Chains A and B, each alone.
Chain A
Amino acid sequence: EAQVTQNPRYLITVTGKKLTVTCSQNMNHEYMSWYRQDPGLGLRQIYYSMNVEVTDKGDVPEGYKVSRKEKRNFPLILESPSPNQTSLYFCASSLLSASGNTEAFFGQGTRLTVV
């Protein structure tokens, strides 16, 4: 089954304690990205990657890091989490296609609470 898998689904942590949210896709997609979803703000892109070792900032990258060492994995790293990073996080993947005839597949989400 084609899917994007995020772990963990729920996480409560304390300010300053480094954490990693994993994301893995089994569709051989080149493009992967991370979004955060906040009430009344919709989804905002944090970072994206167009292929292995190619990453770039999205619209709200401050406080986050990513890496893309393998095509299937795209972890999100919070080196020193703060309460304003409490949010619902989604990983997504898609094929890169010049025609645009593709769609983004989303993971189930990770609800992060930083206290």
Chain B
Amino acid sequence: DQQVKQNSPSLSVQEGRISILNCDYTNSMFDYFLWYKKYPAEGPTFLISISSIKDKNEDGRFTVFLNKSAKHLSLHIVPSQPGDSAVYFCAAMITGTYKYIFGTGTRLKVLA
């Protein structure tokens, strides 16, 4: 059973607009969440994280929102740039287990 779900396999956005990537999880014990970005032929790289004690975390153009009651998190990229075109994975962890459960990924394409 997929505990972390990214229901949109792909997303296309115009350059300069906002990209919103969504992620849902089923295990209410998850208390730490990450987003990773992956370019072709490379490993995933860490992008941004959020703890369950927060509902928002910002880092430059990237903001992650967490809605614990809905078991939902989203990644906002504003403004989107062509270099943001990649596959984005969300991941969740129960602190102390040391292992992240990843979603299936969303392929973002930013159109110039």
Is this pair of chains taken from one and the same complex?
no
Q: Point out residues on B near A: beta carbons under 8 Å.
A: none
Q: Point out residues on A near B: beta carbons under 8 Å.
A: none
